[in-house]
Each structure stands twice: as structure tokens, then as C-alpha cells.
Structure 1
Amino acid sequence: MKLEDFICNCFWMVNDSSARPHAKAVWLWGDERRFIRLKKVVSTGPPIINLYGFLVYRMYPMVYQYDVVWDSITRNPKLLFNIYDCEGTRLKMQSVCSLLGIKYNIDADDDDSLDVELHPILNMSYYCLPRKLLAQPNGQWLDIKNPILRYLLKYTSFTNLTQEELLELSDESPYIE
């Protein structure tokens, strides 16, 4: 996908999400329209295991931050995310794994582990979901034409979007292949 196509597809996602009244899932443009961002506040949830193996309860409300960037090497969109606790501190990889129910694995070469990637815009470590979890989208999403939406919907069951927000994100929009 060319950068121009990526920007065009993102343009429709941002405009569609912000135009809907009372929309919960709203995409916003990032720096120089090189990426788009969605922030979701999660009020309650399970406790998280810290580095010492203890359960931590006072983490909520947390902010799930999703960024879709254009990867200049693979020329494809890439979904990156971070999770921040109630004090704005970014969760460590082990805590993210615990929260999402993914087995924590230190070996980054293993397909079951979370890869730490550099965000090309913010130059900050972001967590990407492991390839093993990137199964084809469920049958209900197979008719989505926008390639970025289709790409995003592969991740949603693991990143805590509600069914209502999924339906918002899946609205058909113009696209370029």
C-alpha cells in the first residue's frame, strides 16, 4: 500500500468516526497525518500481576491507546498500542500480557511472545500482538472493504473494544487498494 493510499483510507476512518453523533470510538490524526490514534478508557477490569508476582488492583481507569502507522519498510499499515494506568504510567510488557491473557515469554524470537517495536513517529516502544493471534477476521467482518479497517478488526477481540465500538469501526467507507 502506498503512503498516499494509507492516508486516504485513514482520512475516511477519521471523518466517519468523528461525524457520528455520540461516537465512542473516534480516530484522530497524529503528527503531520503520518498516523491515526484512538484512545479508549477502561474503567474496571481484572487485577494485574506486577514484576514481583503480586496482584495490583489500583490501576483503573486505564487508557488503551491504539496507533495505526504506515510502515515505510513493509509498506503496510501497522497497529501499535500501549496501555497506561490511572497515573499515566505505561504498563510494562509483562503486565500487558497478564491483562490481555497472553502467555509472557522473554524470547522475542518466539511467535508466542509480544514483540517490542519502535513507533516510527514518536520513537517510543510500543507493543504489537504476536503473529499467532492474528487469525483471519470472523465471518461477520469478511465483507469489510477498507483494508485498514479489515486489518484492525483482526486485533479487536484481544484489545478490549466493545461490540458496539466494533460496529462503529466496521461501517463501510470509501477505500483505495
Structure 2
Amino acid sequence: MHLPYRSIALSLVFMGFFAIVIDRAQAGGGHFFAPASAPETQKECGSCHLVYAPSMLPASSWTRMMADLSNHFGEDASIDANTARIITTNLVAQAADNGGQNFSAKLMRDVSLSQAPLRITELPAWLDKHRKVPDWEWQHKDVQSKSNCTSCHSTAAKGYYDE
């Protein structure tokens, strides 16, 4: 007679657990940004740095960035035209103002899509979220740069930027 109650209780526990997991996967606690989906993006961009989530910048930023890879933040990141086209298409399709809208609303607040910065670290919401990080922490040997997300967000490559 106690078996049905245990089964029901156990079912409710499992349903609650899966609801939390599904909610986290969909919303990430407000800190989830879907990773770039194209293998070319992972290969080319990931050969030098974390592959930043396309939904962290609007399409105009990705288009401008990809158009000047010979001067990619002071480095020559030139690639062949076909690969650049594939990566640009992927980034633009998942950009904050396109397919990545569900993930980036907070990050894009107060950003002019036509004049958005190329650096995620220059977005007003990013600056606000990181304003309490002291300057000396950015200089730490394990961090060294504001663009080194994985030094503080160990699951950044999977799209989770929870603290």
C-alpha cells in the first residue's frame, strides 16, 4: 500500500529535478548564451581563443569584425574567403538581434545595433556586471585579460556564464 505513494513521491522529485534542468538549459539563469554551431567557427576561432557566443554581439558587430580579419584586435587572423563566409553566416544567424535574441536581451540593453562595439567587454551590460571586479584581478596571471572568460566562468565554452 505504501508503494504507490513512494512511486508518486519519487516521480514528483524526478519531475522537479528535470524541470530545473530544462529551465537551466533554456534560460541558464539569465547567463546562458548558445555556443556557435558551425564547426568552422569552432575550428578557426577556437584555435586562438574561446569561441564567443554569437548572441553576445549583434550581427553588425560580427559582420564588421569578420570583414577585417587582417586586423583582428591587433592580430592577423586572415582565413580563406569561403571559410570566412561560412563563419560570418553562422555568427550573423545566431547574433543577438537574430537567432540569439532569447539569450541576449539583457546584454543588448542600451546598445545601438548599428554602432555596437566589436568587443563584448565594451557592452554596457558587461561593464555593469563586471564593475566590482578590481583592476588587479584582471592582471592576475590566470586571467590576464577581460576577454579570458574561462578564467572565471569555467563553463563558458558550453555557453554558461554563471558565477
Specify if TM > 0.5.
no
The TM-score normalised by the length of structure 1 is 0.25
More strand by share: 1
Q: Which has the higher contact order (CA 8 A, sep 6+)?
A: 2
The TM-score normalised by the length of structure 2 is 0.27
Question: Whose Rg is larger?
Answer: 2
